[in-house]
Amino acid sequence: MITRSKAPLRISFAGGGTDVPPYPSEHGGAVLSATINKYAYVSAILRPDRTVGVQSLDYDLVAHYRLDEKITYDGELDLVKAAIRSMDLTHGLDLFIHNDAPPGSGLGSSSAVTVALVAAIKRALGQQMTDYELAQMAYKVERQELGIKGGLQDQYAAAFGGFNFIEFGADDVVVNPLRIRPEIVRELEYHLLLCYTGKVRASEKIVETQTAAYVKRDSLVVDALHQLKLLAVEMKNALLKGRLMDFGAMLNEGWQAKKGLATQITDPSLDSLYDAAIEAGAVGGKLLGAGGGGYFLLFVPFHRRHLIAAGLERMGGQVVPVVFEPNGVLCWDADNYLDTGSSSEGPDTALSDTLVLRNLPGRVV
């Protein structure tokens, strides 16, 4: 039996940083985000033994781990190791992993992989989880077991999908799905561009700097986080009411506030890209994720869209459109659609050539 999952990546419009402890436990955090048509994929096949075989289709890595042996973290396939350790597996599995975006892109790719991993493993084992339970388990794997610094938003975005206003408290997370009119979503897509900067960033260091400054009660950081939370509320209201030009302008407000969280969030080359977009007519934008690289999200007037995109690409940026994904993580059984022979083949067999199939019928975990 081949079980597959795909979890969407996300763009965060406002509130990023207010989901990073300890801020949400002391003040309550809020993030406005939406998932897009880029995904993390996982395929899982039960094995008859107590071995977990892993193949990363992006990096051509293959590894095997025995469930009755100690698994150590060494920087290679650590997310998978953390999932194995956190989920107390009793059966061996073969796992195949693929991601549409690299780590450090600012699109929540690592969390999407974790959500897809948990979903595929749980389904392969015949276990069901709610979206909240899935997001919480993914948070445990990534943040608690593996110790990757960061917030809570990405796991919930990948699990739930669509447009969400997510609130973070001391002991709880509440996901509020937004009912946005389809024509507003289409118009927003038409006004947004993603520009890959060519840089990946070490988000952990940025998050550590931000958190340390907050704990020391640095007034600039505290005030910036308060402003980002307020903007998340205001941008949610603007989006629901279709005030898209106001929404675009508030992206710029959020970017200016975000730059106050840590000095590593931007640099002269990143500022040059953003300034060029603004000078060419962009209304606003921001670096996605923790900052330091990855993707810029830009809100542009429709009649300047092609000119802004061409200018950014001349500067070395890679521009792609934004297409929103309404679904969260999906799981399905692939055997009915494939003729693969024995399902006991491992990651170093020809079975891996058939693994990534998109647009198959899916159903929510």
**E strands present in 48-115:** 51-56, 61-66, 93-99
**E strands present in 28-68:** 29-46, 51-56, 61-66
- Residue 43: HSE in the Cβ half-sphere, 13 Å Cα cutoff: 24
| Contact (Cβ atoms closer than 8 angstroms) between residue 364 and residue 328 | yes
Going by C-alpha positions, the residue among 202, 166, 195 that lies closest to residue 318 is: 195
Q: Is 154 a catalytic residue?
A: yes
Q: Could you count the other beta carbons within 10 Å of the beta carbon of residue 350?
A: 9
SS3 116: helix
Whether the bond into 22 is cis, omega within 30 of 0: yes
Distance CA 350, CA 340 (A): 9
| Contact (Cβ atoms closer than 8 angstroms) between residue 209 and residue 151 | no
| Contact (Cβ atoms closer than 8 angstroms) between residue 316 and residue 282 | no
Phi, psi (rounded to 5 degrees) for 268: -55, -40
Catalytic one of 154, 246, 275, 339 = 154
DSSP-derived secondary structure letter, 96: E
- Residue 324: HSE in the Cβ half-sphere, 13 Å Cα cutoff: 22
SS3 59: coil
Q: Cite the active site residues.
A: 154
